[in-house]
Structure 1
Amino acid sequence: MLQNRVDPFGNIIRTSARGTLMGNRGLLHNEKQEIRRPFKLTAWITCVLEFKGRRRPVMAVGQYTELFFLDEATSFAAGHRPCFECRRPEASAFKRFWLKGNHEYGFNAKTPIKFIDDVLQRERIDQDCKKITFMEFPEVLPIGTFVIFKSEPYLIKNGMMYRWSAEGYEAAKPFPKEKLSVLTPKSVVNTFSAGYVPLFIE
């Protein structure tokens, strides 16, 4: 069992459960298919599982490390964004709504995606590669956002929250009356509030 699934904290974990999307942070593994670093690139992307009939062995020597996600909401919480090659409609929509929701950066439609990737890099992990979070009341967060409750990741959806697992989500739970740590990067939460609705499994 390879260590190639990603949880909402951005951790690369081992599980037999399959993902619905693939991700890329660069070459992270060695010749023994062991993860040696959490990332190499600052562009953390999310891709479809199949694209133009391409086939490649997983964790091949010298090639980028294929990572897998339960769904798109999980990938966003981990700090990834859609790929402009295999998910161009989603990537274009993400950039459009990101710009709409994050005016303070002064970016526009001509701003290279690298500038947004740089913002995401500052928001998702600190200099010690630890997850960055912020505090907010869950009831004001948009659908698709992940929060931490009792040390576990929960998805915000339809006025309730659902505990994440590698296999899927557990039964709905009402919001606690307190602020919670938010796993999804702040600018991505703003993107959701501006109109981008991430995909998640039911």
Structure 2
Amino acid sequence: MRKEERIEALKRYDAAMTVYGEKLPGDGLQELPSNGDAIRNKHCMFRLSNILFSDEFALRFCRTATRAELDGNLINERSLFWDDVQAAFVDESPDNHERNMLELNDDNFFSGIDPKMAKKGHSAKKLFAMWKEVNKNYVNAEAKFVSSRQNENDFRNFVSGRGDVLYLRKWLLMRQYSHRLLYYFMDSALT
């Protein structure tokens, strides 16, 4: 960009700042697509994981469905559980609340992640879809990790750069779910 173009761009930016009261798209405003659901950012899945594995929700999450309910597609984003998750997700908690903290921040893999910066306008349907996505990615990474013939001991090498998948793994290990419960939880919990 030439100097004149840069100056012109900065003038337009200053004019826009004056008109819009110093709030421009990307400056912290909730950007809503036509369906009214917020566009997710890199922090959203971490906040959702914090909520799902919190003392308030973890056991309830693990018990949200029987095999028959899952097979009959009776569990979905309209479940009361997901309404409660959505209410917790949009709640403006203090900065030091567990929902806003990077609970397992022992790894530079999570640098730049701040759950309190998550977009708060997600519906229960969107949060359910986000869970299904990270769950699917976790199951795929776990399958590669277990079947690896490279004697690879580090799960992070199988997450395809997805910090949310590694964070989910760390939550599962921290909660120390038994293998049987972990299998049920990941294989069937709302997939």
Query: Which of the five TM-score ranges fits, normalised by the shorter chain?
Result: under 0.3
**TM-score in terms of structure 2 length:** 0.26
User: Which one has more relative contact order, counting CA pairs under 8 Å at least 6 apart?
Assistant: 2
**TM-score in terms of structure 1 length:** 0.25
Bigger radius of gyration, 1 or 2?
2
Higher helix proportion:
2
